Structure 1
Amino acid sequence: MNFLLSSNLIVSFILIQPILDLITSLVVRNMALPITLGLVIRSLFMAYLCIYVLVTKSNNNKLIKYSKIALSMILIYIAFFLVFTIFNKDRSLILIEVKGIIKSFYFPIVLCGLFVYNQKYKINISNKLLVLTLMIYTSIIFIATVTNTYFNSYNSNGYGSVGWFYAANEIGSIMAILIPFTISSLVNDKDRLLNTLACTICIASTMFLGTKVPFLSLGGTTVFIIIYYIILNIYNIFSTYYKRDFNLKRIILIMNTILISMILIFPFSPLYKNIQRNYGDLIQRIVNNISHNKVDKNTQIEDKENSDSVSKDEIVTAVLSKRTIYADIIKQKFNNSSWIDKLFGIGYNVEIRDEIYTKKTIDSKQLELLQKLGFIVEINDEVYTQKTIELDQLDILYRHGILGFVVYFAQFIAIILLIAKQIILKMEYFLNLDVVICIIDIVLALGIAFTAGHILTAPAVGFFLITSTIKLYNDIFKKVV
């Protein structure tokens, strides 16, 4: 099957991701289809990789053998999950479960497939490739916004332009994952015109989009690179072993220009309006509370009745955009489920009447909010939810149980441990910005997955975490094993 799968084909598949997302958006907005074109194409790609791994000979390569076992365990789990769902749940809603499991398990299956291919024929994932991919995404957002033909990021519930794409959270997460490569290329790459243009459009699109994640990725990466090169400069002064040649003043100038641009644009951006709208009251209460607690030390008087205190739970709920409310309900359902459900998961169409009305886990205001957000669906006098928590680790655990959780992360954890072991044995890797940026990028992606979701359980986004992982592997292990 090698003639149908090549490094060039995989590189092309990376580049067409923005086009897939664009076509999917336009189709979804104009046609009522149960399955999108993007999901179909990505599912076919995933299915082909499954077949590729299973028919590929390991030739005594232990990593390929392990990947084949990991993929086989995933497929066995999926088979059990679907059989259990068919015989124990409403079969008219089986499509929901199938879509859910395809979207969730896209990440580990494609990771297995591309890792096995990469063991035999190295995939050339360059910074330039990832910069070009981000540039396509951001250019579409930029053009749509300046021509006033864009779609709102949050419909009528907020501010921002998602360009001609569909889901602002997913596009924002993709941008966040690709931004570190763009910023590092601006420092390292000789093609400064392309990287400067890509970075300029990226800054503008990050502000237009109106979501926090790419903004924090852009600002955080910029600050990190400043700190990294200052430390590297100190290392160069005291080290006689291995020195890096770079212009510290130029790097700090470029990074400060990005930060100043972000600061100047921020007060006029949709992102600022969304923060004001969603967190303005909470921020004001925190400020008032801090001011109130600055009591004259001589009098030591504190009027508790007038203090507008803010609890930690309120802050966490606000930062996680009310995901903790969803998590509490699904957790309650999972804890009350049978041992089979705990092993294989409760699925994607979950009956939650007892958890809402009997157990009293939420109050009336929260119930009203959940109804407005579409978390609650009533079917035949039963109360269901088909909405994910959007905290990827919890969605995988509760929807797919303990067994699903284990087989899901087995391949990824094995690769990360393999990379970590090699880095520990040779700490000089930290002198290579490409390696460090890949590490930061993976940590960033996992941080987003565990706090905002839309990474591991979103095929369009998870694919770029896979590319970052394989790129890091190739940077660490220069030769194919």
Structure 2
Amino acid sequence: MVIIKERKMNKINNFLRRNIITIFTIYLFIQPVLDIATSVALYKFNVDFTVSSLIRVVFLLFTLYYLIFVERKKINIKMLILIMLYSIIFMLCNILFKDNTNITYEIKSLLNNIYLPISLIFTFQIFYNREFNRKKIYSVLLIYMLFVFVPNLFHIGFDSYAYSKEGSVGFFYSANAIGSLISVITPLLISELVIKRKKLYLILFLLIYGYILLTLGTKAPILCALIVLMYYILYAVINLIKNKSYKKLIILCTAFVLFVLASIKLITMTPFYDNLVIHLNYLKIKNVSDLFTMHNIDHFVFGSRLSFFKKTFNIYLGSNIIQKLFGIGYFMNGKIIKLVEMDYLDIFLHQGIIGFIIILFTYFKTIFYIFKSYFKKFKSNFLNIKKSSMIISIIISILCAFLTGHVLATPAVSIFISVILVVYYNEFKMEE
């Protein structure tokens, strides 16, 4: 009987090992559907824990099973044990050191945070000696973009903001999350279209991308788009000077000036501009110099995040040494502690010093290796569109995580961060 069960388990495990890339790809492709289902549940039924959340938890458990019972790599298991031990201590701290806490909310928040390191370990394992086609990521990006573009075009999308400001997030819930996701993957697809000289597709994509950026109503995706634009301008200028194509350089500069002027005019007709005006009026800004006070910089640039940080940091300072090490959690005295919405700070404050290290160790280690490999041959790599797009994508993910949040602790986004980082890591590793 035991032998029969063992044979069945071996068959299942062998099947999973052979088909894990296909299973994972299917999971990536259903992400937009899960996010739309979450949006409908939150907007229409005001239900916080949804079927989509349950599916993501089930997939997290599946990754644990795969890593522990299928691949059985000791280094992975050790890291998972460390994450699990930390999670247990984190929950014990919430039970022992806080009155009137909400265990369900704490577990949900914890799962959102440990999703990234477990996803990274999982993707490193399944992509080891296995091919993963980048086009799959691009296809998922296009699905996300269509479910923003079409609803926004026909004015049937959900509002980006609950009140005051304007903008539409399509059929999704969080403007910051969807804006970050699109911003992080877009440089890769643009580089693919540029390298393969698919001009018509590139123009069509950029028009849709530009429309989405301006109708979302948020600032961060615009900043990310400017970073991509500046790289391609620098790339073109360097190549034209190298080839002594000065006439083309003058044409490029003229075209850029005309583009900037046209963009300024176009932006004044968008929700993005309306939100800037609303925000400036709210802060009673009459001159540019009025912006340069800490209060106004905090409100206008950081969306009051520095104020939220100050309040949460004071709670952190007032906690005991064990909470400083393992986190103050997310619920205190019958209330949810307001997130700073700057992922690195939120993880540090809410998960503690040890939690910060455990959750972000693999993430920082991977980024460090990619940056080191890129800057080791910076001159040649900068003019390599594919490699530079990888670095731009990572820089954008870091900026989004720091400026808007909802990147590292949002499973819908962090799963793609994991995929992108591991794909980049493997590509740089292959060149060694």
Matches within 5 A, 1:19-418: 19-57=33-71, 66-89=75-98, 93-124=102-133, 126=134, 128-234=135-241, 262-280=263-281, 284-287=285-288, 289=289, 310-351=292-333, 379=334, 384-418=335-369
Which structure 1 segments of 5+ residues have no match? 59-63, 238-246, 290-307, 352-378
Higher mean C-alpha displacement, 443-452 vs 185-194:
185-194
Q: Displacement, 1:404?
A: 0.3
Q: Which residue of 2 aligns with 1:6?
A: 20
Q: In 2, distance between residues paired with 1:168 and 1:459?
A: 15
Q: Equivalences for 1:457-476 in 2 at 5 Å?
A: 457-476=409-428
TM-score with structure 2 length normalisation? 0.86
Amino acid at match of 2:29: L
Moved more, 3-12 or 452-461: 3-12
Q: Do the aligned partners of residues 325 and 420 (structure 1) sit closer, same or farther apart at CA in structure 2, a change above 3 Å counting?
A: closer
User: Quick one: which amino acid aligns to residue 59 of structure 2?
Assistant: F
Q: Which runs of 5+ in 2 are unaligned?
A: 1-12
Closer, same or farther: CA 252–409 of 1 in aligned 2, 3 Å: farther
- Contact kept, 8 Å, 1:24 with 1:36, in 2: the verdict is yes
1:453 corresponds to which of 400, 405, 411 = 405
Ranked by relative contact order (alpha carbons within 8 Å, sequence separation 6 or more), the top structure is 2
Distance in structure 2 (CA, Å) of the matches to 1:105 and 1:436: 29
Change (3 A) 1:446 1:329: same
Assess if the C-alpha contact under 8 Å between 1:429 and 1:476 holds in 2.
no
Identity among equivalent pairs (%): 29
Q: Which moved more, 1:202-211 or 1:42-51?
A: 42-51
Go from structure 1 to structure 2 and tell me whether the alpha carbon gap of 1:425 and 1:278 turns closer, same or farther (over 3 Å shift): closer
How far apart are residue 219 of structure 1 and its match?
2.6
Contact 2:343-2:409 within 8 A present in 1 as well:
yes
Supply the AA of the counterpart residue of 1:318: F
Q: How many residues align?
A: 414
TM-score normalised according to structure 1 size: 0.78
- Match for residue 430 of structure 1 among 357, 382, 390: 382
Instruction: Measure, in 1, the Cα distance between the counterparts of 2:105 and 2:340.
Output: 16
Change (3 A) 1:226 1:338: same
C-alpha separation between the residues in 2 aligned to 1:50 and 1:130? 23
Structure 1 residue 424: Cα displacement = 4.8
Aligned 8 A contact 1:348 1:399 in 2: yes
Q: CA offset at residue 313 of structure 1?
A: 4.2
Q: Are the structure 2 counterparts of residues 318 and 231 from structure 1 closer, same or farther at C-alpha, using a change threshold of 3 Å?
A: same
Match of 2:391 among 412, 415, 439: 439
Letter in 1 for 2:213: T
| Distance apart, 1:204 and its partner CA | 1.0
Q: CA deviation at 1:11?
A: 2.8
Aligned equivalents of 1:236, 1:72: Cα separation in 2 = 56
Q: Deviations over 1:15-61 (max 9, x none)?
A: 33222211211122222434122222222222222222223557xxx
Deviation at 1:168, TM superposition (A): 1.4
Could you tell me how far 1:258 is from its partner in structure 2?
7.1
Q: Could you say what secondary structure the match of 2:95 adopts?
A: helix
Work out the CA distance in 2 between the residues paired with 1:467 and 1:253. Answer: 39
Aligned match of 2:8: none
CA spacing shift, 1:318–1:148, aligned 2, 3 Å? closer
The CA distance in 2 between the partners of 1:43 and 1:252, in whole Å, is 51
Alignment RMSD: 2.9
